[in-house]
Amino acid sequence: MGPKQGPRAAKFDHLLKLLLIGDSGVGKSCILLRYSDDSFTSSFITTIGIDFKIKQINVDSSRVKLQIWDTAGQERFRTITTAYYRGAMGILLVYDVTDEVSFENVQNWMRQIRQNATENVTIFLLANKCDVNPSERKVSTEQGKAEADKYGVKFFETSAKLNTNISEAFSSIATDIVENIKENPDRYGGGSDGGGKKPKGNSGATSLASGSRKKDSNCC
C-alpha cells in the first residue's frame, strides 16, 4: 500500500480555471453541458450571471481538474461576468456560424479579454453549430480560421449538438496550459491553482442561484 494521504491531499496535479465567453445564444452552455454531462437540449435557457462545472481529465501523465465557468452572453450581466476573467487561465471564445453578428463581435470579446484577463491567458476561438445545413451557415471555416490567425489563437469548429470537437477543444486548451505552467510556473502562481473565486461542489452558479435560470423568449 502507498503512503496514507490526509483529507486535504490534492487529488489532482493541476487545477485549471477556464472561461466560456461569447454572444448570447452561440451555444456556450450547450458546449459545457455536452462536455460535462454528454447531453444536449435544443431549447434555449439563457444563462443568468455565471455557472460552473468541474471535470477531471488526464493530460499526459498529469491529473488535471478543470473548473469551467460558463458566462452569460447578455450585456446586462457584463459587470458580473468580467469579474471572472482575471483568474482565468484559459478562455474559450465562442461564436455561432449561423450568426454573423456573433462573429463580428469576436473583436469586442477580444478587447474585453485584453482589458480584464491576465496577459498570459490562453485563448481559443470556437465556431459552434457547425452541424447546420450549408444554407444556414453565414460564417465560413476560412473566415473563422483567418480571424483566429489574426489574434494568434487556436481554432476549432464545434457542434454541441453532434458532439463534434467538444472534448478535443477542452483537452487541447488544457494541454497547452499545462505545458505553459511547466515552462513558466512562476507566471501561474506556483502552477496548481488559478486563484480567484473558488466554487464548492461540482457545478452550480455563484453570483446568482442556478435555479434562477430563465427561459428566453427568442428560442430557436
Give which of ligand GTP, Mg ion, none residue 27 binds (C-beta under 5 to 8 Å, depending on kind).
ligand GTP
Query: Is-contact 196 16, C-beta < 8 A?
Result: no
**Interacting residues with ligand GTP between 15 and 34 (CB under 6 A):** 24-30
Nearest-angstrom CA–CA distance, 165 and 173: 12
**Interacting residues with Mg ion between 17 and 46 (CB under 5 A):** 28-29
Q: Is 165 in the site for Mg ion (CB under 5 A)?
A: no
**Residue 148 neighbours by CB distance under 10 Å:** 20
Q: Which stretch binds ligand GTP (CB under 6 A): 44-52, 53-61, 104-112, 149-157?
A: 44-52
Nearest-angstrom CA–CA distance, 65 and 90: 13
Q: Is 105 in the site for Mg ion (CB under 5 A)?
A: no
> Could you write out the DSSP letters of every residue in 68-79?
EEEE--SGGGHH
Give which of ligand GTP, Mg ion, none residue 26 binds (C-beta under 5 to 8 Å, depending on kind).
ligand GTP
95: CB partners within 8 A, 6+ apart: 22, 23, 26, 102, 103, 105, 106, 125, 126, 127, 128, 139, 144
Q: Is 72 in the site for ligand GTP (CB under 6 A)?
A: yes
Minimum distance from CB of 84 to ligand GTP (Å)? 14
Q: Which stretch binds ligand GTP (CB under 6 A): 43-51, 146-154, 173-181, 203-211?
A: 43-51
Q: Is 132 in the site for ligand GTP (CB under 6 A)?
A: yes
Query: Is-contact 29 42, C-beta < 8 A?
Result: no
Nearest residue (CB) to ligand GTP, 28 versus 55: 28
Nearest residue (CB) to ligand GTP, 92 versus 123: 92
> Could you write out the DSSP letters of every residue in 156-178?
EE-BTTTTBSHHHHHHHHHHHHH
Binding site for ligand GTP (CB under 6 A): 24-30, 41-47, 72-74, 128-129, 131-132, 159-161, 220
- Give residues in contact with Mg ion (CB under 5 A): 28-29, 47
